[in-house]
Amino acid sequence: MVPAELPLPAATDLQTHKQTTFHLVMCGGTGVVVRATRGIGNGRESDGWPCSSETGQQHCMTPQPRFTLAATTLDAPDAHELAQFYQGLLGWPMRKEEPGWVEIAPPDGSAGLSFQTEPLFTRPRWPSTRSEQQMMMHLDIAVHDLSSAVEHALVLGATLTDFQPQDDVRVLCDPAGHPFCLFVPTGSSA
């Protein structure tokens, strides 16, 4: 498809006195890009925008699809039990519940946590070893007070790991064995 072009006002670099011309390029309602050409001597040089090819054919760059993280999903032997733990830890309400699946999320509707019952779930080992199931990911959870947050997590059923790699972070495991970290953010509000 040959794009429609709309010239925009040119800009001149005050140091090099080279003029750059901008064109708004529209492709059948599916994409909009800006193409720039810069004057050099008697000729013009393209800045490499993907709206023209070496063959002279016009191409349009389609806009990147929009992606929004909706949730992080944790497998567990029992999705409902693990969801209850994280509801108690984070204070988030349940968004969805069905057999073998639970979703919780903060009240503002941003990304939450989902839990899926996995009958073949194997508890991960942290720190990792070659012979046991390794952790695939972990959650970092900001708190206001580290010691009271650790106590709260322990009461809910978390366990404190033997290995603590940082003084200002506590590594715990949820009841299904997924490691998670509690920390107090520095330089920002939690």
Examine the domain organization and report whether 58 and 1 are in the same domain: yes
Q: Are residues 135 and 176 in the same domain?
A: yes
Q: How far, CA to CA in Å, does 104 sit from each of 74, 88, 140, 151, 155? A: 12, 11, 17, 22, 20
Domain total of the chain: 3
User: Do 60 and 83 fall into the same domain?
Assistant: no
Q: Which residues of the chain have pLDDT under 70?
A: 1-62, 126-129, 131-135, 188-190
Which range marks the domain in which residue 42 is found? 1-66
Q: Which residue do the tokens 């940082």 mark?
A: 166
Q: Are residues 61 and 3 in the same domain?
A: yes
CATH number of 134's domain: 3.10.180.10
Of the candidates 169, 71, 53, which has an alpha carbon nearest to the alpha carbon of residue 79? 71
Question: What's the pLDDT score for residue 38?
Answer: 56
Clarify whether residues 92 and 42 are in a common domain: no
Q: Which two tokens stand for residue 18?
A: 């080279």
Residues 48 and 82 in one domain: no
Q: Would the pTM of this model clear 0.75, i.e. be above it?
A: no
Q: What is the CATH number of the domain that holds 73?
A: 3.30.720.120
- pLDDT score for 175: 97
